[in-house]
Structure 1
Amino acid sequence: MEYVTERVLFISLFIMIIHCIDTSAYATRLSGARVGYLASAFSLFNVMVIVSRMSNMIQQPLTGSLVDIAGDLSYIDALVWVEHQYRFIIAACTVGTVLGILFFPTFISLFSRALFHLSIERGSIVRLIRKCLTPSYILRACKHITVPRFSYLKGVKFKHISFSLLITNTLITAIYTVGVLSSLFAALLIPQHASTAIMASGLINGVATILIFVLVDPKVAILADEVSNRKGSYAQLKAVTLTMIVSRLLGTILAQIIFVPAAYYVAWFTKFLL
């Protein structure tokens, strides 16, 4: 069990970093509107989203290995043990999102400078990363670490908050957070159809990703364009961005609630397909 505990801690650390990156990605648009490199900001945002999605695919075999380890236990013991491990991993998603929120002002400052250097490097992400990893740039970046202050909320008004966007992104984040884990847990519930249940994770995360880019992303993109064209206010874009990161946090908390019901739904849906 000690070996398994170390494995869970490693997976949790990995997923925590993924969610921290996911949360920080929202800072790119604020940075783009702030320094006038909005198109470059969208490009950088897409790069971060792709890295996050790829990292999420890497976690599948890691979390799936816990199901294999539980195979030596009885049916009930395996369900209880895996549920506890997966809930710990979901909690790591929440911690990663909180870290992303705490460092959000820092990310805005760093991305503002990254966008400027990206224009110097003529859009080469590889050269930008190579430059940012040099000791001098790392030391310079450390000087821009900013502690969150209430003054950051200056200009943000209650009317700027979109509650429909808050609810939508909360639900999508919760589904995306448990997509892989619920499918793997469903494989334990119906071991005779385990392969079908596991493959359902790709469908769940795919639908969640499509919903993000159809229901959520265009609204933020249009507002960012309006700010860039001086037709909208930076404070309103800031309010919407805060709505997005808060909804991500709420989504990871909601994931704890829907984790097991989602697994039973996947199990039912798998039987329905067969």
Structure 2
Amino acid sequence: MEFITFKVICIFLFLMLMTSIEVLGYGFRLVGAKLALVALAFAIYNIMSLIARFSNMFQQPFTASLVDSAAKNGGLELLINQFRLLLLGSTMGVILGELLVPFFMKVFLKR
């Protein structure tokens, strides 16, 4: 079994995208508070959270298949390292989302 496969890359990108969307949702809440459009901000935040959670449903079967293939081939150490890579993807998604929050705040404050 290989360490980095197409499946691992897809899961990595899904996790990065999901966590970025979750963090950007909080930026919409801040914009709503600044513009006194709290209800709209909560609605947009809920839509973004729904999208991130929906994309999580696509990612979970891929992750489960990694566990299944590791159980068949006895590659527990490889699975642990792949999960560490996936945690790195989530961390990078949070960092990317945090870096993009000021940009999205400027864009949506210009109404």
The TM-score bracket by the shorter chain reads 0.7 to 0.9
Preserved CA contact (<8 Å) 2:19 2:90: yes
For 2:54, give the aligned amino acid: M
**How far apart are residue 59 of structure 1 and its match?**
1.3
Q: Which residue of 1 aligns with 2:18?
A: 18
For 1:93, give the aligned amino acid: S
Q: Which residue of 2 aligns with 1:56?
A: 56
Deviations 1:14-62 (A, max 9, x none): 1101001011110111111222211111111111111111122221101
> Structure 1: 5+ residue runs without aligned partners?
117-274
Preserved CA contact (<8 Å) 1:27 1:104: yes
**How far apart are residue 2 of structure 1 and its match?**
5.2
TM-score where L is the length of structure 1: 0.38
Deviations 1:71-99 (A, max 9, x none): 3323xxx2211111111001100000000
Preserved CA contact (<8 Å) 1:32 1:41: yes
Equivalent residues, number: 111
Please, what is the CA RMSD of the aligned residues? 1.9
For 2:81, give the aligned amino acid: H
Rounded to whole Å, the distance in 1 between the matches of 2:61 and 2:9 is 15
Structure number with greater CO (CA < 8 Å, separation at least 6) is 2
Rounded to whole Å, the distance in 1 between the matches of 2:106 and 2:72 is 50
Q: Which residue of 2 aligns with 1:100?
A: 97
Q: Which shows bigger deviation, 12-21 or 27-36?
A: 27-36
Is 1:79 the counterpart of 2:76? The answer is: yes
TM-score where L is the length of structure 2: 0.88
Deviations 1:179-224 (A, max 9, x none): xxxxxxxxxxxxxxxxxxxxxxxxxxxxxxxxxxxxxxxxxxxxxx
Is 1:109 the counterpart of 2:78? The answer is: no
Preserved CA contact (<8 Å) 2:28 2:105: yes
Change (3 A) 1:40 1:109: same
Percent sequence identity is 39
Change (3 A) 1:100 1:49: same
What is the 5 A alignment of 1:134-145? Answer: none
Preserved CA contact (<8 Å) 1:27 1:111: no
For 1:66, give the aligned amino acid: L
Larger radius of gyration: 1
**How far apart are residue 3 of structure 1 and its match?**
9.2
